[in-house]
Chains A and B, each alone.
Chain A
Amino acid sequence: MNGRMLVEQARMELVLTLRRGEAVLLTLIVPVSLLLFFGATNLFDIEIGFLVPGLLTLSVISSALVALAIATGFERKYMVLKRLGATPLPRSVLFAGKMVATLLLEVLQIVIILAAARLFLDFRPPIAWWALVLAVVLGTAAFGGLAFLLSGTLRAEATLAVVNGLFVAFFGLGGVMFSIDGLPRPLAAVADIMPAAGLSEMIRWATGFSETLGEVVWVLVFWAIVAPLLAVRFFSWEEK
């Protein structure tokens, strides 16, 4: 019974996301557009081996943080979450459905980025798949936990504003397009305690760009554990 509910729930979530124009733009179109633009123009002189893992990081953030938080926030506002609470659907299956849909969307994003890099930029990195999967799972836990924490405590409009702001912040401070080492000291200090830097570090390692894994990865692990716990603690099903 729960298995069937999970499949149906995940399918619904994925369909709804793919039907939202702004979510498709942010998760599927923006990352690959950035790849083709910066990969082809050599503007800022970004190495392709650095750029691809950065955009994979951005992809995870766009799905697990931005798209997920906005969808959940508005479902809460329109009392979808409350209504589902009056059905036999367990809360755990509701959230599992969201996570499965997010992971599927991320698989699609990764396939598109890697395929575009290969086809148009002739980039074939040596990928340690287990490490890439682990990085995506940790990133999804960290950013997904953050998404639930925000959407379960703020009003939907505030969630929308905050996650869009965070998306821009992580774009600059997450080691996505520019190395954190090049940032001014105070900014680098902020970047170092955010989950994005650890995720980009780990994906760069998984795709063979860097040979060693920096300690900043532990920051990602910390967020992957703490953000979901905070979300469970503070999530409320209805806006006050």
Chain B
Amino acid sequence: MSISIHLENLTKRYDALTAVDGLSLDVRTGETYALLGPNGAGKTTTVEILEGLRASDSGTVEVLGLNPVSDRTRLQRRIGVMLQEGGVYQGAKAREVVSLFASYYPSARATDELLELVGLADRATTLHRRLSGGEKQRLSLALALVNRPQLVFLDEPTAGMDPVARRTTWEIIEHMQSEGVTILLTTHFMDEAERLADRVGILNHGRLVAEGSPSDLIQARGDVSFVSVPQLPVEELIEEIGIDVREVRTGFYVVTTDTPSPALVSNVTAWLANRDALITELRVGAGGLEEVFLALTEENNR
């Protein structure tokens, strides 16, 4: 199995803040890998180092076998990049921007074919600033595909899109997957990661805290989660059972454990019964990626 991205012990600091802290991961050729993590976890910094936009402080970085800093131009001919936002001349028409970008590469896709692919054929002569948010994102996606890249970086590709535009974008990404393109994407949407990613990596404080296919990650958790009245004094429950408990969303509690037991479930429900707090839902094991994510990234605990 060949590897498109190889990271070993990557570290990047901004003054006192360590944005990426000894990150190691591999992205296999042809797979879609989603980087998840709360804001400030180091997702964008990692992606920008891989794209050659930032230099790392230490560690090994190989993208398509190249060093993003010293082989920058050679690498950039073979990758596609979609930034989180912006990136396009405000006063340029959609078609002008695509054909300008085409001039940067030795061989590029036909402009009109590409506009067709992202569903902007009828907006080809519209100024960028007059496009809707979703249309701007799709134009930005088109620019990432101009050079028929082997590897594409998508930084929150559907942020700010309505449900219809999201679905269109997912279909474009799935089309890329069917062409064998390797994709590294970051997202805040768990449903997006579950639908598109072969593997996900969860980042927290610049470190990888979990990695695997969405279904493996979901199955690996043994947490006991329950829904009850909000703002229970969980400290008392923690004292009682000796295991960490958090209210991850209003009225939604997670007892973090890898080894759930009948006794644990019984202790939890007994404690709730004593407080006269009704359980409306109780589950052992994670029900979805979102619960895995919330359990592993404490900063999201609000």
Contacts and interface: CB of A to CB of B under 8 A. Distances in A.
Interface of A: 1, 4-5, 8-9, 12, 15-16, 19-20, 74-75, 78-80, 82-83, 85-90
A87 B87 CA distance: 11
B88 A80 contact: yes
A237 to B, nearest CB: 8
B91 A20 contact: yes
Nearest to B78: A88
B89 A86 contact: no
Interface size class of chain B, counting residues whose CB lies under 8 Å from the partner chain: 20 to 34
Interface string B270-298: 00000000000000000000000000000
A90 B73 contact: yes
A87 B76 contact: yes
Contacts of B100: 8-9, 12
Q: Which 10 A-B pairs have the closest CB atoms?
A: A83-B87, A79-B86, A86-B81, A8-B103, A78-B86, A87-B104, A16-B91, A89-B104, A88-B76, A79-B87
A88 B88 contact: no
Given A20-B91, A86-B53, A1 B106 contact: yes
B85 interface: yes
A162 B263 CA distance: 71
A191 to B, nearest CB: 35
Contact of B89 (A8, A75, A90): A75
A74 B81 contact: no
A7 B53 CA distance: 25
A78 B88 contact: yes
B83 A79 contact: yes
Interface in B97-115: 100-101, 103-106
B115 to A, nearest CB: 17
Contacts of B96: 12, 15
Contacts of B79: 86
B103 A86 contact: no
> Chain B interface mostly helix, strand, loop or mixed?
loop
Contacts of A75: 89
Contacts, number: 64
6 contacts: A8-B100, A19-B91, A78-B87, A80-B86, A82-B87, A83-B81
Given A86-B52, A87-B101, A88-B105, A80 B76 contact: no
B130 to A, nearest CB: 12
A16 B91 CA distance: 6
Given A5-B103, A87-B76, A12 B81 contact: no
Contacts of B6: none
Contacts of B143: 83
Contacts of A5: 103-104
Contacts of B106: 1
Contacts of B51: 86
B90 interface: yes
B77 interface: yes
Considering residues B53, B76, B90, B106, which has the most beta carbons from chain A within 10 angstroms of its beta carbon? B90
B117 interface: no
B92 interface: yes
Given A80-B87, A80-B88, A83-B88, 18 more contacts: A1-B106, A4-B103, A8-B100, A12-B89, A12-B96, A15-B92, A16-B91, A74-B90, A79-B83, A79-B86, A82-B87, A83-B81, A86-B53, A86-B81, A86-B83, A88-B73, A88-B76, A88-B105
A12 B92 CA distance: 8
A150 B300 CA distance: 39
Contacts of A74: 90
A8 B179 CA distance: 30
A83 B86 contact: yes
- Residue from A8, A15, A83 with most neighbouring chain B CB atoms (10 Å): A83
Nearest to B75: A88
A131 B83 CA distance: 46
Nearest to A23: B91
A32 B151 CA distance: 52
